[in-house]
Amino acid sequence: MPEPKQPEKLIDDKGIRIDGRRLDQLRPIKLEVGILDKADGSAYIEQGKNKILVGVYGPREAHPKHIALPDRAVLRCRYRMAPFSVDERKNPAPSRREMELSKVIRESLESVVLTDLYPRTTIDVFIEVLQSDGGSRCAGITAASLALADAGIPMRELVAACAVGKIQGHMALDLSDAEDKYGEADLPVAWVPNANLVTLLQMDGILTTNEFEKGLTMALDACKTIHGMQQEALKKKYLVIKEVAEEREETEVVA
Amino acid sequence: MVIVAEPKQVVAPGELLAEGDHLLGDNSFKVGTRIYSACIGIFEVDGTRVTVVPLKGGYFPRVGDLVGGRIVDVGLSGWTVDIRAPYEAMLPASETPGPRGPRRRDLSESFDVGDMVLSQVLAFDRTRDPLLTVKGPGLGKISNGRVVEISAAKIPRLIGRKGSMISMLKRETGCQITVGQNGVVMVWGKSPENERVAVEAIYMVEREAHTRGLTDRIREMIAKSNVVGEVARTQTA
């Protein structure tokens, strides 16, 4: 499949983007928790055309043993894109980009996980991008923090992440693949709401100070929305079981 | 002293639980005067103490815990045991019953790789791996009955308040049940059918640990499985 052609305009005259969104609109997000049986914790996210699966293992014994730390758990993170996740086949070997994203995602999650409760162990996070559509590092962080919570690992709070960018001179929220490729700048942000910490901030392209500030505000607002969705998704798993069980009880009482 | 979250409800990590001078229970932490949840669980208030009872999570050893484990290695002076914790546990030969002193016989005659043992955590801290003992009544190799492995986070619910759930299970199924703190549960019944129903009930507790009226629902489930009911009747007769 050839590369998608550059669209003539990323924003039309009415200020609507190529996928029909306004500038300050997120793509539709679907979050699911606990979908892998064998992993200690897992989560799945769909954000636009992104499809990302995250599995968390641990805390477990550190192997090889020399990586273990005497006072806390080691958080290991692997971001990986499936060969079929992009238009052109992606070489399955770990790329420079994947190594970098693994590192920044790990650092973003390390600030919330209470690693000092589990000395000499590791917590492994595997982020598998099944289909990529721009902003996958942010979607990966959103899903990974959910998977960590699903594993029952003590953490300060959930991390929410979202990107903003500049397309045709306008700041736009949650860039899609085409907007990222043919736009002017991209600014992924991860945010920890209660502590009010930014745990990921990268920038690609050039923004003025004003544009940066406007973009950051937009991204933080979006993170707030996503954070709410995360909490809901995490609780939903247990509320569904609860409803089914308690409903069964009621029907039994009636019968 | 304000309780913000609703008690007995599911809370997510980072959710505000309370504000003020409350005592910190498990899985909660304080920032300034605000107390937050550290994991997904059920929020409980007990006097001035706020706790989150986790819904998921592995086993973390504590001294004195009764644990079921699987022998993974036989060494010269002891065994390595998998107790479903992030650490490998050691069971030294000196902590098995019998005469002290140098042993001439092979340790695998007592426990071999793959054997299940019921043991107690003798020593454990952050710097050392757990040390086990099988000296004590009821401890040692598990050679019959059934072993059920459930999430260690659900063990408090399986035991219930003051042991209400577990004593009901024992009574209604006519099985002897030993609960390991690490999620390994041993069931010995009068018949395979009794054991099957007890195992099913244990899995049901694991699945529905956070729901209300669980004890009654389990009791009904057991009552419906006719075979055990009959056995129970003949027992009372």
Please state which CATH number belongs to domain B66-141.
2.40.50.140
For residue A63, the Cα-to-chain-centroid distance in whole angstroms is 26
> Which amino acid is located at A124 in the chain?
D
Chain B residues with CB under 8 Å of A119 CB are 126-127
Residue B122 pLDDT greater than 80, yes or no = yes
CA atoms within 13 A on the CB side of A22: 3
At A2-54, the pLDDT tens digits run: 566 778 789 998 989 999 999 999 999 999 999 999 999 999 999 999 999 99
- With CA atoms as reference, the chain A residue closest to B53 would be A152
Average pLDDT estimate for B197-201: 93
Average pLDDT estimate for B40-52: 92
Average pLDDT estimate for A175-185: 94
Tell me the pTM: 0.91
User: d(Cα B171, Cα B149) in Å, to the nearest integer?
Assistant: 21
Percent of chain A with pLDDT over 90: 85
> Which amino acid is located at A235 in the chain?
K
Average pLDDT estimate for B141-161: 92
At A195-228, the pLDDT tens digits run: 999 999 999 999 999 999 999 999 999 999 999 9
User: d(Cα A232, Cα B12) in Å, to the nearest integer?
Assistant: 9
- With CA atoms as reference, the chain B residue closest to A237 would be B10
User: d(Cα A51, Cα A84) in Å, to the nearest integer?
Assistant: 12
Per-residue exposure over A104-132, b if at least 16 CB sit within 10 Å of its own CB, e if not: bbbebbbbbbbbebbbbbbbbbbbbbebb
Residue B226 pLDDT greater than 80, yes or no = no
**Domain covering A29-254, topology:** Ribosomal Protein S5; domain 2 (3.30.230)
Token digits of residue A108: 């973003």
Give every CB contact of residue A175 below 8 A, 6+ residues apart in sequence: A134, A135, A163, A164, A165, A167, A183, A186
Q: Could you tell me which residue, A6 or B135, shows the higher pLDDT? A: B135
Q: Which of A122, A117, A215 is nearest to A174 (CA)?
A: A215
At B137-149, the pLDDT tens digits run: 999 999 999 999 9
Domains B66-141 and B146-236 share a fold: no
Average per-residue pLDDT for chain A = 93
Q: Cβ–Cβ of A156/B212 closer than 8 Å?
A: no
The answer to whether residue B86 neighbours chain A at the CB level (below 8 Å) is: yes
Best mutation target, A42, A124, A156, to test chain B (most B CBs within 10 A): A156
The complex's ipTM? 0.88
Spans of all domains in chain B: 2-54, 66-141, 146-236
Q: Cβ–Cβ of B13/A58 closer than 8 Å?
A: no
Q: Cβ–Cβ of B40/A114 closer than 8 Å?
A: no
Query: Token pair 């195992």 is at which residue?
Result: B199
pLDDT value, residue B97: 85
User: d(Cα B237, Cα B235) in Å, to the nearest integer?
Assistant: 5
The answer to whether residue B57 neighbours chain A at the CB level (below 8 Å) is: yes
CATH class of the domain at B146-236 = alpha beta
Q: Cβ–Cβ of A241/B10 closer than 8 Å?
A: no
At A125-134, the pLDDT tens digits run: 999 999 999 9
CATH architecture assigned to B2-54: Beta Barrel (2.40)
User: d(Cα B184, Cα B177) in Å, to the nearest integer?
Assistant: 11
Per-residue exposure over B161-183, b if at least 16 CB sit within 10 Å of its own CB, e if not: eeeebbebbeebbbbebbbbbbb
Neighbours of A73 (CB within 10 A): 25
